[in-house]
A and B are shown apart, each in its own frame.
Chain A
Amino acid sequence: MSRSSFFRLEDLAGFRQAAYRVFGTVLLYPSQERIKNLAHAARELERQSRPLVGFAFFPEWQRFLSTLAGRGDSATADLEEDYLRLFVVNQEVSPYESSFRAPGNPALTMAALDGEYVAGGLSMATSFSEPPDHAAVELEFMSLLCEQEGEAWAKRSVTDALRHLEREAGFLDRHLSRWFPVFTEQVGFRAGDSFYTSVTRAAHSFIEHDRALLSAFLEQYRQEAVHG
Chain B
Amino acid sequence: MVSREGPSGRAEMKVLVCQKLETFGSGLDLQAIKAWFRDQTPEVSFQIQPGPCCERAWWQKASLSEASGLVLGLCSRDYSMAELEAQARKAGLDPFGVEVVNLGSYCAQVSAKPQATEKAKILLKAACARAEVFPESRPDSVKPVLSWDHTVSRRSLFTLPPLRYEPVASIRKESCISDEGCRVCANSCPRQALSPLEDGPMTCDKSRCTGCGACVSACPQTAIDLPGASSKQIEAQIAALVNTDSASLYPRAILFVCRKSAHVLDDLARKGLSYPPNWIPMEVPCIGMVTPTWLLHCLDLGAAAAAVLPCERDDCRFGQREVVEGRIAYCREFLELIGGTPDSVRLLDPLDEERLASSLKDLPVREKRAGGNGHGEPPLFAPGASAQTILGLAEQFASPLDRTLMHPYSPVGVVTISQGCTACEACVHACPTRALRVQRDTESMSLIFDATLCIGCQACASICPERVVRVEKVTDLSLLAQGRFTLYRDSEVRCQTCGAPIAPGAMLKKITALLGSHPAVPAITRYCLSCRGVLTPGPATVEKVKGGEINDS
Contacts and interface: CB of A to CB of B under 8 A. Distances in A.
Interface stretch (B35-43, B81-89, B366-374, B489-497): B81-89
B162 interface: yes
A208 interface: yes
B161 interface: yes
B145 interface: yes
A10 B146 contact: no
Interface in B176-225: 206-207
A70 interface: no
A205 to B, nearest CB: 4
Interface residues on A, range: 35 or more
A219 interface: yes
A138 to B, nearest CB: 17
A116 to B, nearest CB: 22
Contact of A54 (B82, B152, B159): B82
B144 A5 contact: no
B163 A54 contact: yes
Contacts of A56: 89, 137, 142, 144, 165
B139 A7 contact: no
A58 B93 CA distance: 10
B90 A53 contact: yes
B80 interface: yes
Contacts of B146: 216-217, 220
Contact of A5 (B85, B158, B161): B161
Contact of B160 (A12, A53, A59, A204): A12
A88 interface: no
A54 B93 CA distance: 12
Interface string A1-41: 11111111110100000000000000000000000000000
A208 B158 contact: no
B139 A205 contact: yes
Contact of A212 (B83, B92, B206): B206
B163 A57 contact: no
A220 B140 CA distance: 20
The prevalent SS among residues of A at the interface is helix
Looking at A10, A216, A219, A220, the one whose CB has the most chain B CB atoms below 10 A away is: A216
B484 interface: no
Contact of B89 (A58, A153, A156, A215): A58
B152 A224 contact: yes
A158 interface: yes
Contacts of B157: 158
The prevalent SS among residues of B at the interface is mixed
Contact of A3 (B86, B137, B142, B158): B86
Nearest to A4: B163
B426 to A, nearest CB: 30
Contacts of B165: 56
Interface residues of B, number: 31
Contacts of B92: 59, 62-63
A181 B201 CA distance: 13
Contact of B139 (A4, A204, A215): A204
A2 B90 contact: no
Nearest to A204: B139
B80 A219 contact: no
B143 interface: yes
B90 A1 contact: no
Nearest to A50: B90
A10 B144 contact: no
A208 B83 CA distance: 23
Contacts of A12: 160
A219 B207 contact: yes
A213 B144 contact: yes
Given A59-B92, A215-B207, A5 B139 contact: no
Interface in A52-89: 53-59, 62-63
A11 to B, nearest CB: 9
Interface string B91-104: 01110000000000
A2 B163 contact: yes
B145 A2 contact: no
A9 B86 contact: no
A134 to B, nearest CB: 22
Interface in B478-503: none
B164 interface: yes
B139 A3 contact: no
A5 B164 contact: no
Nearest to B157: A158
A174 interface: no
Contacts of A4: 160, 162-163
7 contacts: A6-B160, A10-B158, A12-B160, A53-B86, A208-B140, A220-B161, A224-B152
Interface of A: 1-10, 12, 53-59, 62-63, 153, 156, 158, 181, 204-205, 207-209, 212-213, 215-217, 219-220, 224
Lowest 5 CB-CB distances: which A-B pairs, in order? Answer: A208-B139, A2-B82, A7-B160, A205-B139, A4-B163
Interface of B: 80, 82-83, 85-86, 89-90, 92-94, 137, 139-140, 142-146, 148, 152, 157-165, 206-207
Given A56-B89, A219-B207, A224-B152, 19 more contacts: A1-B82, A2-B86, A7-B159, A7-B160, A9-B158, A9-B159, A12-B160, A53-B86, A54-B82, A55-B89, A56-B137, A63-B92, A156-B158, A181-B140, A212-B143, A216-B143, A220-B148, A220-B161, A224-B148
